[in-house]
Structure 1
């Protein structure tokens, strides 16, 4: 189900009035952490009694969470060792751990002997990482980093990060010698730094523990979507509807050089459940399209959303289509060759790009070229890959569009700063024509949303984050098709089955 992520400072601010009112937030967090630790030990070793648990204790509240949880494990019969890594730690938590029988090892400077700490880590069945929390700086002090690097090749037990992994950084340098959690247990709300696609190898699976903060989703900076969101929110036909209320998609895709793009884009638009698809490109491509889908209309007329760019349509058709768009405010999906128009002054003739939702769908190389043009400096695909969410946000801000940055971890950024992160799809999606299929899916979903908005008589503009979320659902549809085929034409065909199951339910 949909999960929102927040800046750490928003979560900390939400804690303050509750703490001042005496709400036992740490007790709630520690209890949940203890229960997850018990489940981890039981699943892996079949017991808690006799299991070896090691706490890496820093100076902050996440160390307190870990220490109180460890005291519970100690009372359940685990052999607990606490390694204090700074000259201070959470006093009440340490006292509770001692009372439950924990052994305490001080390893607080580079001059200290690491032998005992290394031994306890190496034979631990479970390690709780409570070194640094959300208030800590990136990078571990040298004595801790050296201990972790020495221990990492010898680790045999499970590692649970408390709130956030202490050595969390998207920088891959020396990754093998850093802390790689099997599981991260975070409290109050999902932290923004945990959803960066580059840090998954350090976080493992993530458990978000509700401790009663009551966070406002309007303050979220990211939304994660999965298959459950798709099953719940896919737009199904409404009783009493008709082909126009279901949404009409205009498609300008394919050219005499690349006719297949036109076929793939229209096939996916048809298969995703559009009320009607209009093909508005080359007559030659139209023959191919109608030969496969006789229900596609090749005459101009009303549309609720427009897709153009896949397969580099000829300029005369692009000009005709953009001229027609100047009289409407319908959403537009721009892919492939169409991206060259984004941000160019000449593309604004007739102001067709103004005052309408626009979703652009670049891969890293295309986004690099777009940003290089807009920023006046060389941006490479490699730089995009180092921070996909950051670059997608910047592109959304510069262009005023929803930016769907394609990749294994697709990132969708809205101009207001929200990032939507659909769960990754199968590797089979990385093939020629796959983006054409996605463009058709997005066109249909946008047309359905636009038609419903129109027929509901709602004059208020749809917020950009809602369009970004709709794009995320489109990615999930694409993922589902990718799980049933290995070629783009196979994905387009598989959509019929995927959408039938979403609308009618799997048999």
Structure 2
């Protein structure tokens, strides 16, 4: 199910009144950390007793979490060593670890070389290491004696590493990965931190366990939402027994051209198979013949539309103008993909265009977004720059265009104009094939049409906030992912949608 990510400052502010009220937050965190550590030790070694655990202890509260957890592991029979790396650490936690039998190695810049050798020896033979060096409030960059120790330990590391709350020195812009800790698991407390969702830090965090310690965070304060396949099962819009074709949404498809007819077929097929009440094809008569030959239920006559998919296959200008005229003055949602993005880039602003004042989802890959931003910003933005920081650039594009920006890639990033981000779980590698984006566009168009139609027939005429549209786009990506697990070509994905959607609506026998 979905998980919300919050700025570290938001989580710290939520902790303050509970600390002041005497709520034992550290005890809760340490108990959960000890349980997670014990599970790893049991998985790797069959038991906790007899294993070796090492704590890298810094000066803050995350060191306290690690030390108290290590004390629990020590009482369960683990041999614990604490390596203190600064002139101070969490005194109560250190005392608890000592009372449970922990040995202490003091290794600071003032210590002799023998202490460094002892620290390296303990790390190299540890079955599990707890990284409690620096937390979210720590400054970027580890002191030289620590980074050198980490680099020397890396070739000899045989055990697992758990990062406590966040991996120390978690800076996506910092080079020197060899002198940084690479966690197998990050156990974070209170809520998922925004720092942990950046795709650039994946190699440092491992799997993430989010431990609820009773903060009661408001999802409205979240900066991001992570979606998985369970969200698709619960969030897919299913028709009820009173549904009819118009209440299920009418998807307009302006895709394909005489030069690229296949894009029109793929986009329309995916719109049909995603469960639209009706699909209208709005483009070239030549492409319409291909579409109707495969899907006789598609309508090519003009009429009511709840959402439009525009752009795949570079539709001819006369059909673009026809759709623009039909949509002027209303608020019909639009999904813009591929060649349609150039129309946005050529507009000096969104105001005054037929794309303005409506829900708008754009679906570029990195190169397409680079071209769009280069025109909007008046400077050269490259695909490499986009790939180096996809969240930031998707947010920038959403801010500039007022659109929901779905930046396609292995880690698809969806940004709303207010900066909120939706991150669907990655899909299979089979999706990286020609025409896959056309299929996704058709999915998004139909989900938008269903949503718009539901609003009308449920007497819900409120304006849906951009975050809801961003989440809807995330569900579309998850549906695309599931189709990608059942086929290896774009036409196969479009066909597989019928089976996936049937299972979502009717269930699996």
Aligned to 2:45: 45
* SS of residue matched to 2:4: strand
CA gap of 1:304–1:452, structure 2 versus 1, over 3 A, is: same
Find the counterpart in structure 1 of residue 101 from structure 2. Answer: 101
The more displaced of 482-491 and 172-181 is 172-181
The match for 1:32 is 32
Unmatched segments (≥5 aa) in structure 1: none
Q: Which residue of 2 aligns with 1:240?
A: 242
Aligned to 2:506: 504
Whole-angstrom distance in 1 between the partners of 2:111 and 2:338: 58
- Distance apart, 1:198 and its partner CA: 1.8
> Counterpart of 1:432 in 2: which secondary structure?
coil
Select 2:476's aligned residue among 474, 477, 501.
474
Matches of 1:391 and 1:143, distance apart in 2: 36
Range with bigger deviation, 446-455 or 338-347: 338-347
Give the match for residue 289 of structure 1: 291
Which of 306, 320, 323 is equivalent to 1:321? 323
Cα deviations by residue, 1:437-489 (Å, 9 ceiling, x for unpaired): 00000000000000000111122100000000000000000000001111101
Among 155, 169, 172, the residue aligned to 1:170: 172
**Equivalent residue for 1:92?**
92
Q: Mapping of 1:79-478 within 5 angstroms?
A: 79-109=79-109, 112-113=112-113, 114-171=116-173, 173-345=175-347, 351-478=353-480
- Could you tell me which runs of 5 or more consecutive residues in structure 2 were left unpaired when the two chains were aligned: none
CA offset at residue 3 of structure 1? 0.3
1:262 partner SS: helix
- How far 1:351 moved relative to its partner? 3.5
Task: Count residues in correspondence.
Answer: 507
Which residue in 2 is equivalent to 1:16?
16
Q: Distance in 1 between matches of 2:90 and 2:316?
A: 67
Cα distance change of structure 1 residues 49 and 347 upon mapping to structure 2, 3 Å threshold: closer
Describe the SS at the equivalent of 2:411: coil
Alpha-carbon distance, 1:173 to partner: 3.6
* CA distances 1:300-326 after superposition (whole Å, capped 9, x unpaired): 110100000000000111011011111
Q: Taking structure 2 as the reference length, what is the TM-score of the superposition?
A: 0.98
| 2:60 alignment partner in structure 1 | 60
Residue 176 (structure 1) shift: 4.0
- Distance change >3 Å, CA 121–CA 398, structure 1 → 2: same
CA distance in structure 2 between the partners assigned to 1:243 and 1:321 by the alignment: 22
Over 3 Å counting, the alpha-carbon distance change for 1:398 and 1:349 in structure 2 is closer
Quick one: distance in 2 between partners of 1:170 and 1:66?
24
User: In 1, distance between residues paired with 2:404 and 2:110?
Assistant: 49
Alpha-carbon spacing, 1:212–1:347, altered in 2? closer, same or farther (3 Å): closer
Distance 1:118 1:8 in 2: 32
Match of 1:78 in 2: 78
Q: Is the 8 A contact 2:349 2:401 kept in 1?
A: no
In structure 2, do the counterparts of structure 1 residues 187 and 424 end up closer, same or farther at CA, with 3 Å as the change threshold?
same
The alignment yields a C-alpha RMSD, in angstroms, of 1.2
Q: Give the secondary structure class of the aligned counterpart of 1:278.
A: strand
- Distance in 1, matches of 2:140 and 2:333, equals 41
- CA separation of 1:347/1:84 partners in 2, compared to 1, >3 Å: closer, same or farther? closer
CA–CA separation in structure 2 for the residues paired with 1:40 and 1:122: 18
For the Cα contact (< 8 Å) 1:110–1:142, is it kept in 2?
Answer: no
The structural deviation recorded for 1:344 is 3.3
Summarize deviations over 1:348-376 as a string: whole Å, max 9, x none: 69642221100000000000011111111
Per-residue CA deviation, residues 187-223 of structure 1 (Å, 9 max, x unaligned), is 0000001011121211111000000101010100000
User: Normalising to structure 1: TM-score of the pair?
Assistant: 0.98
- Answer whether contact 2:309 2:445 (CA < 8 A) is retained: yes
Q: For 2:239 and 2:332, how far apart are their aligned partners in 1?
A: 20
The question of whether the paired residues in 2 share the 8 Å contact of 1:248 and 1:276 is answered with yes
SS at match of 1:342: helix
Matched residue of 2:258: which SS?
coil
Matches of 1:325 and 1:439 in 2, distance apart? 19
CA contact (8 A) 1:250 1:277 kept: yes
